[in-house]
Amino acid sequence: MTATDSLNAIKGTRDILPEEVAYWQWIEQAARQIFSRAAYREIRTPIFEQTELFARGIGEATDVVGKEMYTFIDKGDRSVTLRPEGTAGVVRAYIENGLHVKGSLQRLWYLGPMFRYENVQAGRQRQFHQLGMEVLGSADPRADVEVIALAVDLLNDLGLPNLRLDLNSVGTPEDRLRYRAALVDYLTPYQAELDPDSQNRLSRNPMRILDSKIAATQKIVEAAPKIWSYLAPDSQQRFERVQQQLTDLGIAYSLNPRLVRGLDYYTHTAFEIIAETGLGAQNAVGGGGRYDGLVSELGGPETAAVGWAMGLERLLLLLQQLKSAPASPLDFYIVSRSPAAEAQALRLAQALRHAGFATELDLSASAFGKQFKRADRSGAAGCLILGEAEAEAGTVQLKWLASGEQEALSQTDLLNQVETLRQRMQRSLELP
């Protein structure tokens, strides 16, 4: 394909072709079922919002806001941004629609495209999709455990192996302030040995140094003080309760003191779900945590909240390595020849579809031999043949493709014997 004379999808975006959509629907269906069973309701918020929402919600100093937002000025001279994540929009909707008044607790989930202006690599695009959930209005550690359990339920339901749940607590803002000071004290003597990025972060966001992938930096960080020693007794206690309750539910996790989330709004519980194999360098399938300060930060009442998001494309990558998508089964394939037969075939297709049969009509008007070849490849259980003779007699030939058996019956009989047909269809499918 030449770049100059054809129109291509924008860098970092891609088409999801029909074969792949089967996987998407699989995930969506599983999510819908599991979430609604836990009394979560779906929410759909706009794909773009005021830039200010993300800048304030996610944090000006984060990479997402600092360099990855798709921001533009619209014709009304407003700065708008394609949402880079889902939580800020959900929280805005929660405040704006007074959901805190309507019920003391909101359990919500969402699914949709997100946008970040980043360079593309395996498992990372500019338009990608996230599935997420939020519990707004509960500070109970059981809410943390519930959302984690639902994430695990979904992944188990999909049958994904080799996933690891990493858990940490980032405490309250006050806890973090104390820890941050201790961390800077520890790291400052090593400043010269840190990689340039980490040197930079030492003053701006020292906790982010903890999850650096640079080997030399990691070595220094290994002996760094852990946040756990700086958690206030309350924070410590709720961290322990989350762990205890996860264990009660039989959910395995690894404590990871170096787990730091990239968005500013997290407090207390932070977790990530990592694929140990099957993804490239971007191996986080999902992540989330508690964000007790966000609702008030965005102008709502003090509201405790917890949630997570998963990357659908990353889930897809794993799923496709494991299983092939289920093909949608076809009941009948109709071949026809001659104008009268073609007209009857069209009506017959319509009638069969209304009777609940998945029916494909051959539109080619090519030789019967060619049409049969396509019937065979369609995977249909039965082939209905309408030629000149059948059209004249008002009959149709029904051929069961697996066995090769063929019989003639009148078109009205065919439509009157729907139940019998269904049973025979069943038997025909069991044949091979």
Partner RNA sequence: GCGAGCGUAGCCAAGUGGUUAAGGCAGCGGAUUGUGAUUCCGCCAUUCGAGGGUUCAAGUCCCUUCGUUCGCCCCA
Of residues 32-91, those binding RNA (CB under 7 A) = 62-64, 68, 85
Subset of residues 146 to 205 that bind RNA, contact rule: CB under 7 A: 197, 201
- On whether 253 is known to bind a ligand per the annotation, the reply is no
Residues 125 and 13: beta-carbon distance below 8 Å: yes
Q: Compute the distance between CA of residue 60 and CA of residue 385 in angstroms, rounded to an integer.
A: 67
Which range binds RNA by CB under 7 A, 29-37, 136-144, 299-307, 309-317? 309-317
- Residue found by looking up tokens 């309408």 in the block: 386
Measured CA to CA, the distance from residue 395 to residue 296 in angstroms comes to 72
Shortest distance in whole angstroms from residue 336 CB to RNA: 9
Nearer to RNA, 6 or 104 (CB): 6
Task: Based on the shown chain and the rule CB under 7 A, indicate whether residue 240 belongs to the binding site for RNA.
Answer: no
- Which residue stretch of 135-143, 180-188, 211-219, 295-303 sits at the interface with RNA (rule: CB under 7 A)? 211-219
DSSP conformational letter for 331: -
- Cα 309 to chain centroid, rounded: 8
22 binds RNA (CB under 7 A): no
Q: Is residue 3 a contact residue for RNA (CB under 7 A)?
A: yes
* 130 among annotated binding-site residues: yes
86 assigned to a ligand binding site: yes
**Which residue in 362, 307, 383, 314 sits closest to 128, CA to CA?**
314
Count other Cβ atoms within 10 Å, centred on residue 1.
7
CA dist., res. 380 & res. 425, Å (int) = 10
Interface with RNA, residue 208, by CB under 7 A: yes
Single out the segment in contact with RNA by CB under 7 A; choices: 7-15, 163-171, 177-185, 241-249: 7-15
Q: Is 261 annotated to bind ligand?
A: yes
Does 265 count as an annotated binding residue?
Answer: yes
Residues 261-300 that bind RNA (CB under 7 A): 261-263, 272, 280-287
**Are 258 and 231 within 8 A, CB to CB?**
no
The residue with tokens 């820890």 is 179
Q: Does residue 310 touch RNA according to CB under 7 A?
A: yes
Helix axes of 18-37 and 141-158: crossing angle, nearest 10 degrees: 140
- Residues making up the annotated binding site for L-histidine are 85-87, 116, 130, 134, 261, 265-266
